[in-house]
């Protein structure tokens, strides 16, 4: 089987490299190393941090993008997951650093290299920030939130995780994301973040061209680390999942090719699931990944 190159649109790091505190050289090294896994494009994802550090890290990632060679996975822009989230669904994020979603607060960190914003739409008064971002080249995704009105959202961040779930009356984030066919939905199908039953539900209910596979990969992925500092918390890796001291799941410890293999062995994978993110961002990358019958990568052609 051949597919397009994989694109990671929700990706906090790997190989011990954390996009929230990395250098330009770190970003370049990661983008070079990741290619052997069939990953041709990445959206480095920043967790909640201070305004000053977010601006600093966006600039570092942007500088790295300008220094890349053809042998590296293309840096496609920054996914800003942090600061405009709902404390009720904070997950591993540091709520002391949250800001109210507003145009003025967004302008504190605004940069044309931010291409995806995860935020809590219910906190956006009169959807002023969403309306502002409609004039920019930014995908708006509902995440770490409870609101069910996703009228101004392009997508939903890691469906079912850190959001209000399915309800039998009224509305919720997950219910709207699942049933509104105009919304793209990220899903972390690593077997940890959602059950296999939920994965099968999503694949039955959601149009196949609106599902975006993501890893939400932590810096601890593909490293020898058993614990690390991330988003102001000490994260512990037990060999299967990474959690805070309190047991909150912090993110995935698998890269997207590992997740694709898992879906393939479940009988759920189709090449379209890789192509969807290309459509979502109107991206074109040259190259392909060659897989064997057990969904192992046997060649990466670029």
pTM for this predicted structure: 0.97
Tens of pLDDT, residue by residue over 35-49, are: 999 999 999 999 999
Residue 177 CA to residue 141 CA, distance in Å, equals 10
Please state, in angstroms and as integers, the Cα–Cα distance from residue 211 to each residue in 41, 125, 164, 273, following that order: 18, 28, 19, 7
Please state, in angstroms and as integers, the Cα–Cα distance from residue 63 to each residue in 46, 68, 109, 195, following that order: 16, 9, 16, 39
pLDDT number for residue 131 = 97
Q: What is the CATH number of domain 2-301?
A: 3.20.20.140
Residues 85 and 143 sit within 8 Å (Cβ to Cβ): yes
pLDDT number for residue 98 = 98
C-beta pairs of 166-174 under 8 Å, 24+ apart in sequence = 172/146, 172/148, 173/142, 173/145, 173/146, 173/147, 173/148
Residues 230 and 250 sit within 8 Å (Cβ to Cβ): yes
Residue 16 CA to residue 31 CA, distance in Å, equals 13
Chain mean position to CA 143: 10
Residue 107 CA to residue 82 CA, distance in Å, equals 14
Residues 283 and 76 sit within 8 Å (Cβ to Cβ): yes
Residue 236 CA to residue 234 CA, distance in Å, equals 7
Locate the domains of the chain by residue range. 2-301
pLDDT number for residue 12 = 98
The values of phi and psi at residue 78, to 5°, are -100, 140
Chain mean position to CA 237: 20
Can you read off the two tokens belonging to residue 282?
């109107």
pLDDT number for residue 151 = 96
What pLDDT tens digit does each residue of the chain (302 aa) get? Answer: 999 999 999 999 999 999 999 999 999 999 999 999 999 999 999 999 999 999 999 999 999 999 999 999 999 999 999 999 999 999 999 999 999 999 999 999 999 999 999 999 999 999 999 999 999 999 999 999 999 999 999 999 999 999 999 888 989 999 999 999 999 999 999 999 999 999 999 999 999 999 999 999 999 999 999 999 999 899 999 988 999 999 999 999 999 999 999 999 999 999 999 999 999 999 999 999 999 999 999 999 99
The values of phi and psi at residue 211, to 5°, are -100, 125
């Amino acid at each position: 089987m051949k597919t397009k190159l994989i694109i990671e649109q929700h990706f906090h790091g790997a190989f011990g490299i954390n996009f929230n505190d990395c250098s330009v050289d770190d970003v370049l090294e990661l983008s070079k190393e990741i290619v052997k896994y069939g990953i041709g494009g990445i959206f480095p994802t920043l967790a909640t941090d201070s305004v000053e550090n977010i601006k600093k890290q966006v600039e570092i990632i942007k500088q790295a993008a300008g220094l890349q060679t053809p042998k590296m996975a293309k840096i496609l822009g920054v996914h800003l997951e942090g600061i405009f989230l709902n404390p009720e669904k904070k997950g591993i994020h540091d709520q002391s650093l949250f800001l109210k979603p507003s145009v003025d607060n967004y302008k504190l960190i605004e940069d044309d290299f931010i291409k995806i914003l995860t935020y809590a739409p219910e906190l956006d008064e009169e959807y002023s920030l969403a309306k502002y971002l409609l004039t920019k080249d930014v995908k708006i995704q509902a995440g770490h939130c409870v609101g069910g009105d996703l009228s101004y959202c392009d997508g939903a961040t890691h469906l079912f995780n850190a959001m209000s779930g399915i309800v039998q009356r009224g509305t919720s984030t997950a219910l709207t994301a699942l049933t509104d066919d105009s919304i793209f939905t990220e899903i972390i199908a690593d077997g940890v973040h959602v059950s296999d039953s939920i994965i099968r539900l999503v694949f039955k209910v959601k149009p196949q061209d609106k599902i975006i596979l993501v890893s939400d990969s932590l810096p601890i992925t593909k490293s020898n680390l058993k614990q690390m500092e991330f988003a102001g918390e000490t994260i512990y890796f037990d060999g299967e999942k990474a959690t805070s001291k309190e047991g909150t799941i912090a993110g995935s410890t698998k890269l997207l090719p590992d997740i694709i293999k898992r879906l393939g062995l479940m009988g759920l994978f189709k090449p379209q699931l890789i192509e969807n993110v290309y459509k979502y961002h109107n991206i074109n990358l040259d190259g392909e990944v060659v897989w064997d019958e057990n969904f192992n990568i046997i060649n990466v052609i670029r």
